[in-house]
Amino acid sequence: MSKTILLVIASTRPGRLGPAVAQWFAGATAEVAAELGVRLEVADLAEVGLPFLDEPEHPSSGNYVHEHTRSWSRRVAAADALVFVTSEYNYAMPATLKNAFDYLYAEWAWKPCLFIGYGNTSAGTRGVQMARGVAASLRMLPIGSDIFLRIADDLQDGVVINSERLAVRAGDALRQLSRVAGVLRPLYREDTGTSALESAAIVPAVLGDAAELLVLQRCCWVDEAIANSRLDLPALVESEAEVVAGLRTWSTWCVRSAGRLVGSVRARREGDSWEIGRLMVAPDQRHTGLGRRLLAFAEAQAPYGVTAAGLFTGEHSDRNIQLYQKAGYTLSTEPAPAGAVRLTKPLAA
């Protein structure tokens, strides 16, 4: 299974050496990464551009108001492990790295991490020591194969000096990081352990699925009824005949596990919008990644000429809203049925 490792450049100071150190690590480990099926993705905090923490709610809530936070959340959540390239400022890590840590909470948990420190007298060890403590408090697992570069010895003219010794250390560290990420995957990816569900095909629904779809949507919309204090939700009250009618007018897809229908989504074109609806996952199959997979699949089915995807959910369905926002949707001012909100997302041409 391929892995994504996020290579975070901490310093944003003009004249910084972080990008050169990150470039060295990526180059020194290129062959090992290809061998392991690892993809290194660089996250330069100077480009990420996070202001000092400006979210009104605690990061542990996962309710993010600003798109810069949601974007950062998506990048960290998608990573299987992290490599932090950090300098040392006054015996500590850069404030920009601490700020990046503080923006999120659950996205860091149970993921292995590696530190590459650089500096003068201490080669960045004191900054890494501080950062390692913060990472551990966020339930990350520092693997202990950190690399330290002394500027006077290991860099020249702003570039890391090619060294077989350092290249071997970098490759070994990446191997360990990848190995630990595989072991920890059941903790940081809640969908792990459901390999059969991961590989289950998303297929077009047929009219014969109507009865099971009716049962599934009634199971799934109980929580929505409670959250929104109303029992007249269409998914709860419509008949099997109405479900059949929906199958005739919407493109509907479903997923089965061991013969049981456990997930579904539907979509249809309305003007320039690809309307997505009835995204549902059986209650005992939630937190497996199936909902995100179904949503992404539905978006990918949008026909040529559609410029945006749109959907509705209950105005008090906080979990749904959070899921959609993490997938790139934003709350819209377009009209919505009473008790509902509309979210939209631009689609690539």
- Mean pLDDT across the stretch 51-69? 91
pLDDT band at 118 (very low <50, low <70, confident <90, very high): very high
pLDDT the model gives residue 185: 84
Is there a contact between 87 and 124 (Cβ–Cβ < 8 Å)? yes
Position 191 pLDDT exceeds 70 = no
Grouping H, G, I as helix, E, B as strand and the rest as coil, residue 174 is helix
Q: Residue 58 pLDDT more than 50?
A: yes
In 23-135, DSSP assigns E strands to 38-44, 81-86, 112-119
Beta bridge partners of 280: 264
State residue 159's pLDDT score: 95
- The model's pLDDT over 233-262, given as tens digits with 9 standing for 90+, comes to 889 999 999 999 999 999 999 998 767 899
Helix (H) or strand (E) holding 45: helix 45-48
Per-residue confidence (pLDDT) for residue 192, from 0 to 100: 38
How does strand 155-156 pair with strand 308-314?
unpaired
Q: What is the pLDDT of residue 176?
A: 95
Residue 196 confidence (pLDDT) above 70: no
Tell me the two tokens of residue 162.
């090619």
pLDDT at 195 over 70: no
Closest by Cα among 246, 6, 250 to 107:
6
**What's the rounded mean pLDDT across residues 216-221?**
94
Whether 81 has a pLDDT exceeding 50, the answer reads yes
Residue 53 in this model has a pLDDT that exceeds 50: yes
Q: What is the mean pLDDT of residues 87-100?
A: 96
* pLDDT at site 120: 92
Contact assessment for residue 166 and residue 29, using Cβ atoms and an 8 Å cutoff: no
Average pLDDT over residues 9-23: 97
pLDDT of the residue at 190:
58
How confident is the model at residue 271, as a pLDDT?
92
Domains of the chain: 3-188 (3.40.50.360), 195-346 (3.40.630.30)
Averaged pLDDT for residues 27-31: 96
Higher pLDDT, 302 or 61: 302
User: In the prediction, which pLDDT does 60 show?
Assistant: 86
Is residue 194 predicted with pLDDT exceeding 50?
no
Q: For residues 348 and 342, what is the distance between their CA atoms, to the nearest angstrom?
A: 20
pTM of this prediction? 0.58
- Average pLDDT, stretch 336-342? 92
Mean pLDDT of 327-344: 93
φ, ψ of residue 183 to 5 degrees: the values are: -70, -40
The residue type found at 103 is Y
List Cα–Cα distances, 132 to 97, 135, 142, 209, in angstroms: 11, 5, 7, 52
Whether residue 83 contacts residue 3, with contact meaning beta carbons closer than 8 Å, is answered with no
- pLDDT at position 6, please? 98
Q: Which of 124-133, 188-197, 287-296, 330-339 has the highest mean pLDDT?
A: 124-133
What is the distance between the alpha carbons of residues 99 and 333, in angstroms, rounded to a whole number?
A: 32
Average pLDDT, the chain: 92
Q: What is the pLDDT of residue 193?
A: 40
- The proportion of the chain whose per-residue pLDDT surpasses 90, expressed as a percent, equals 77
What local confidence, expressed as pLDDT, does residue 282 receive?
93
pLDDT, tens digit, for every residue of 134-179?
Answer: 999 999 999 999 999 999 999 999 999 999 999 999 999 999 999 9
Share of the chain above pLDDT 70, in %: 96
Taking the C-alpha atoms of residue 129 and residue 150, their distance in angstroms, rounded to an integer, is: 16
Tokens of 303: 């026909």
